[in-house]
Amino acid sequence: MAIERTFSIIKPDATRRNLTGAINKKIEETGLHIVAQKRLHLTTDQAQKFYEVHKERPFYNDLVTFMTSGPVVVQVLEGENAVATYRDVMGATDPANADAGTIRAEYAEGIEANSVHGSDSQDNAEIEVDFFFSDIELVG
Ligand code: CMP
């Protein structure tokens, strides 16, 4: 199986409730390795650019406000089929539809404050990793 990298954000609703360690434990239990992470406060400009694909959606402005409402932890995860593996453990976008045991089923507050983001494809993973980690050399 292919070793891949994917990009993750632990969102403000989760950092506010001190859930970074609990979420990292769930990630590591899948076998994925957290090969880079940093905690930062997104600027409005960064959040708007990161979620530009959703610009025309009715929830876009609220999403940008939410994502800049507190610190986030941005991460690079590495392992077998990292994109799909991380999406499995995140669970569905809406926690009401997330399988038991997933991060969103256990921790998300709602469809917007859903605790984590993960890339939806290998191509987007590369773009999103580059968005936040272009300045450092990643060590697997
Ligand atoms: P994420 O995986 O980061 O990708 C886009 C985000 O938009 C999503 O997680 C949610 O936080 C948010 N989102 C998606 N759908 C909705 C919705 N219907 N209402 C509000 N927020 C949403």
Using only C-alpha atoms, the chain has a radius of gyration, in whole angstroms, of 14
Closest by alpha carbon to 113, among 7, 9, 8, 11? 11
Give the pLDDT mean for 93-110. 98
The protein residue with its alpha carbon nearest to ligand 1, atom 3, reads: 117
Q: Which of 114, 116, 128 to mutate to test the pocket of ligand 1 (most atoms within 8 A of CB)?
A: 114
Q: Is 104 in the pocket of ligand 1 (CB under 6 A)?
A: no
Q: Which of 10, 23, 46, 63 to mutate to test the pocket of ligand 1 (most atoms within 8 A of CB)?
A: 63
**Is the model's pLDDT at 101 over the cut of 80?**
yes
pLDDT tens string 22-76: 999 999 999 999 999 999 999 999 999 999 999 999 999 999 999 999 999 999 9
Give the pLDDT mean for 74-81. 97
**Rounded distance, CA 51 to CA 49, Å?**
6
114 pLDDT band, cuts 50/70/90, is: very high
